Amino acid sequence: MNENGTFLEYSAQAVVVGAGHAGCEAALALARTGINTALLTLNLDAIAFLPCNPSIGGTAKGHLVREIDALGGEMGIVADKTALQIRMLNVGKGAAVQSLRAQADKNAYHREMKRVLENTPNLRIIQAEASKILVENNECVGVQTTYGGIITCQAVILCTGVYLNGETITGGLVQKSGPNGFAPANHLTESLIDIGFDVRRFKTGTPARLDGRTIDYSKCEIQNGDTDIYPFSFMHDTPPENKMPCYLTYTNLTTHEIIMQNLDRSPLYNGVIQSTGPRYCPSIETKVVRFKDKDRHQIFLEPEGADTLEVYAQGLSTSMPHDVQRAMYSSVAGLEHADIVRYGYAIEYDCINTLDVLPTLEFKKVQGVYTAGQINGTSGYEEAAAQGLMAGLNASLKLRGLPPFVLRRDEAYIGVLIDDLVTKGTDEPYRMMTSRAEHRICLRQDNADFRLTEKGKETGLVTKERYERFLARKQKYEELLEQMRTRVAQKDASAFLANYGYTQTSGSVSYADMIKRSVPLQDIVNHFNVFTEYSKDVLETAEITVRYEGYLKRGLDQIDKAKRLEDRKLPDDIDYSKILGLRLEAREKLEQIRPFNLGQAGRISGVNPADISVLMVWLSTRNN
């Protein structure tokens, strides 16, 4: 140890700070592509922890999990292995918005991801708190821990979750704490400010956990898992076994009255909480205040694991005092005598302004520093894991001297997520939704491997086994599309189509034509005894391709037009203040964000089509 109390603890090429869902994917992406990596975590028991909802997937989030998997990530594999049940959401809607969601076994998920990390070559896990990012000549050179240990490195990926200066709030009690009673990280924020990060404060929250033995499920609606669906991971052939059900109940006017009568005791409404919370996952207090016309709100009762009696009350997130929480919960049907084993709370934490981050998730002001997950202002395990994978991959590519890996908005939900963060920024916890993706008909969860696995192979993350499975599925898919062109004799086709309201056909009809007439593929399979050798996922992708052929063609045409702007690169050294015709606001925003291309420039708030036209003219004169 030297005179200032520091010592060289370890030398690595990259350090990942934080072992939540972003940190796990970042560390695995680095180590699996040959980078000597150190993963720092405040507590080994918090690796891949599910501090809020014990679930993986959901609307748009299921798309992210499938994309992570297609690129060679781990979340989908672990989710399949540890699921208590799995369901397909939005089955009554179009294919673009259907999403997988699994109820996860919280403890099993943590154990399985920890096992994977511990057995990954090139990866060392260290229980320690990072206190300082070491920088020389605007480049990252290491990380210092609170113990004085220094880990030298050329890249650091900050995946700090909600731990940075974390404070939990329940009623009037404010405590320095991370989620679920874990210790917070109280020393790193100052270092981030010192190296140029713009730090802000966000908030999230969680409901109480109940003793399942004290819930009267007879007053609730059972929610079973699905069986005839595919799993998250393309590496698995069958969906997880459905081991436990969930249940649905509702708040009522009595619940709402209890909340309104105690609103002055709510930290959200009495000034204790000042930070911004998630718009799309509000507390029950916010829902009751905001939607006064509703006489009830859904409450899903979800098991936390196979080895525990704890039940998660999704929809009842709150930071009310404990006595109010008890009154609220006991007013709900089925929960009249439920025992609370963990009370709900809000948690505030530090995060950064992502307008200071490149599309590679590298910090603009210091080379080698990357950010991923809730430090970037996002909410959700899936959003975090997607960013972690991309940050880890880009750090790995840079260390290997290879070009960066940036997904466009038309290529993946991951591309939409990161582009939104670095181009538009966020003033509240960001949640992925299908409505954010303008090309969602082409970005379905069923075709994630067709869109991304080749790209993952190019980065070095996709294994030989995964790539061979992808090629086999692609071959089956192409074979099936060809077979769907097979024509059925007029007599047989007319008799079959009459069941769906169609009059006699004038000639033979192909199976593809039947699908375009809204005949379900499974009905065709059952009636004509065809395509029985193909798996559920291959059948679904082929059916969607045929049924939505016209929409997909228009979608691809729109993508081609958008790509023309994406292909017009903007020079790194451009001085926007000297471009005549740009409005002052556009100059300021363009100078701050420094977009890679015209497409990204056009998505910046404050830059309008006239400004893009000016940039196009400027580029043409510069090239001449």
- Give the model confidence (pLDDT) of 193-237 as tens digits: 999 999 999 999 999 999 999 999 999 999 999 999 999 999 999
Rounded average pLDDT over 566-577:
89
Give the span between the Cα atoms of 385 and 378, in whole angstroms.
11
Tell me the residue range of the domain where 551 lies: 483-557
pLDDT-derived band at 623, boundaries 50, 70, 90: low
Query: Same domain, yes or no, for 608 and 537?
Result: no
| 75 domain-assigned | yes
pLDDT category at 68 given cuts 50, 70, 90 is very high
CA angle 548, 551, 555 (to 5 degrees): 130
**Within a domain: residue 474?**
no
Q: Are residues 164 and 191 in the same domain?
A: yes
In a domain, 463, yes or no: no
Residue-wise pLDDT for 473-498, tens only, equals 999 999 999 999 999 998 899 999 99
- Residue ending a domain, among 421, 448, 475, is 448
Task: For residue 281, give the amino acid letter.
Answer: C
Say whether both 265 and 319 belong to one domain.
yes
Residues 546, 581: one domain?
A: no
Here the CATH number for the domain that contains residue 331 is 2.40.30.260
Query: What is d(CA 512, CA 441) in angstroms, rounded to the nearest whole number?
Result: 19
Q: CA 200 → CA 64, 288, 347, distances in Å?
A: 26, 28, 14
CB 368 within 8 A of CB 362: yes
How far does the chain reach from its first CA to its final CA, in angstroms?
A: 60
Strand arrangement of the beta sheet that strand 83-89 belongs to:
55-57, 99-104, 83-89
**Alpha-carbon span 279 to 429, nearest angstrom:** 7
CA distance 350 to 354: 13
Residue 492 belongs to what H/E stretch?
A: helix 490-497
Q: What is the pLDDT of residue 56?
A: 98
Residue with tokens 């086709």: 493
91 lies in the same domain as 236? no
Residue 232 contacts residue 317 (beta carbons within 8 Å)? no
Is the domain of 327 the same as that of 273? Answer: yes
In-domain check, residue 453? no
Backbone angles phi, psi at 398, to 5 degrees: -65, -45
Here the CATH number for the domain that contains residue 75 is 3.50.50.60
Within 10 A of 11 (CB to CB), how many other CB atoms are there? 12
pLDDT per position as a tens digit, 574-584: 999 989 889 88
Are 489 and 548 members of one domain?
yes
Indicate yes or no: pTM above 0.85.
yes
pLDDT at 573 over 90: no
User: Is 472 inside any structural domain?
Assistant: no
Asked if 223 and 340 touch (Cβ cutoff 8 Å), the reply is: no
Contacts of 97 (CB under 8 A, 6+ apart): 59, 90, 434, 440
The strand pair at 139-145 and 130-136 is best described as antiparallel
Q: Specify the number of domains making up the chain.
A: 4
Do 340 and 354 lie in a common domain? no
Q: Does 136 lie in the same domain as 27? A: yes
Give domain status of residue 298, yes or no. Answer: yes
Contacts of 374 (CB under 8 A, 6+ apart): 20, 22, 160, 161, 162, 202, 349, 351, 384, 429
| Residue pLDDT, tens place only, 125-168 | 999 999 999 999 999 999 999 999 999 999 999 999 999 999 99
pLDDT in the model for residue 398: 98
315, 345, 375: which is the final residue of a domain?
345
Shared-domain flag, residues 65 and 177: yes
Taking CA atoms, 67 is separated from 276, 368, 386, 616, in Å, by: 29, 25, 8, 33
Does residue 477 fall inside a structural domain? no
Q: Are residues 216 and 288 in the same domain?
A: yes
How much is the pLDDT for 2?
74
468 assigned to some structural domain: no
Are residues 119 and 179 located together in one domain of the fold?
A: yes
Single residue among 526, 557, 588 that ends a domain in this structure: 557
